[in-house]
């Protein structure tokens, strides 16, 4: 079962909607302003991050370094998904950063149809429809359901969300089934 502890200290690099901007003061830097983000209601977290991602860059302070928004999202993805060849998957996501919020959203959508805390594997595979050497990220939804049941559920996921979201993947993400 995925787990994140809260509260998490973050730097706010841009303003959230509905929150007044910080007053500009001489001698103060915006990156020194801190807010506490309490991570609660785990099943809805991917949606909340996907919505806020465009307006806010999250960073977690570790020593003297700051982890950028993409790195923070990758940490979340690592908790939500099971990464096959993690270094390769992370490299691919860093090369296609628009996939990170889409994957956060995808996990939430998959959970709506396949039940809470689904086992979803991420793997890089050669894209059979692209030029030689091209690859894509594949999300394998592991299920104990019969093939007929699982395919019906996947079709409902496609109709309710994935077909609309597919364009945002830019041909770099595929969602399919894997039977236990």
Instruction: Give pLDDT tens digits for 128-139.
Output: 776 767 899 999
Strand partners, 174: 138
Cα(57)–Cα(146) distance, rounded to whole angstroms? Answer: 42
Where exactly are the structural domains of the chain?
Answer: 8-179
Of 95, 85, 81, whose CA–CA distance to 141 is shortest? 81
Beta strands in 23-161 (DSSP E): 34-37, 61-62, 65-66, 82-83, 119-126, 135-143
Of 2, 6, 64, 3, whose CA–CA distance to 35 is shortest? 6
Q: What is the pLDDT of residues 1-35, one digit of tens each?
A: 443 433 333 333 333 344 444 343 333 333 333 33
Q: What is the pLDDT of residues 101-131, one digit of tens each?
A: 999 999 999 999 999 989 999 999 987 776 7
Torsion, Cα 58 103 4 153, to 10 degrees, reads 150
Cα(13)–Cα(59) distance, rounded to whole angstroms? Answer: 9
CA angle 24, 25, 31 (to 5 degrees): 70
Q: What pLDDT does 60 receive?
A: 41
Cis peptide before 7, with omega less than 30 degrees from 0?
yes
| Phi and psi at residue 91, to the nearest 5° | -60, -45
- Computed over every residue of the chain, the mean pLDDT equals 73
Confidence at 155, pLDDT banded by 50, 70, 90: very high
Q: Considering only residues 106 and 38, tell me which one the structure prediction assigns the higher pLDDT.
A: 106
Rounded to two decimals, what is the model's pTM? Answer: 0.63
Q: Is the pLDDT of residue 58 over 60?
A: no
Dmax over CA atoms of the chain, in Å, equals 65
């Amino acid at each position: 079962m995925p787990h994140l502890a809260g509260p998490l200290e973050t730097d706010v690099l841009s303003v959230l909607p509905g929150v007044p901007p910080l007053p500009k003061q001489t001698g103060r830097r915006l990156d020194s302003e801190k807010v506490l983000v309490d991570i609660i209601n785990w099943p809805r977290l991917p949606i909340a991050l996907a919505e806020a991602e465009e307006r806010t860059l999250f960073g977690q302070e570790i020593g003297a370094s700051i982890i950028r928004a993409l790195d923070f999202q990758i940490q979340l993805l690592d908790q939500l998904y099971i990464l096959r060849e993690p270094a390769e998957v992370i490299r691919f996501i860093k090369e296609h950063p628009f996939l990170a919020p889409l994957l956060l959203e995808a996990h939430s959508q998959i959970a709506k149809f396949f039940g809470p805390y689904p086992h979803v594997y991420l793997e890089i595979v050669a894209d059979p429809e692209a030029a030689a050497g091209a690859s894509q990220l594949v999300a394998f939804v592991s299920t104990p359901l019969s093939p007929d049941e699982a395919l019906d559920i996947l079709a409902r996921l496609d109709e309710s969300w994935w077909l609309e979201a597919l364009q945002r993947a830019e041909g770099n993400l595929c969602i399919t089934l894997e039977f236990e």
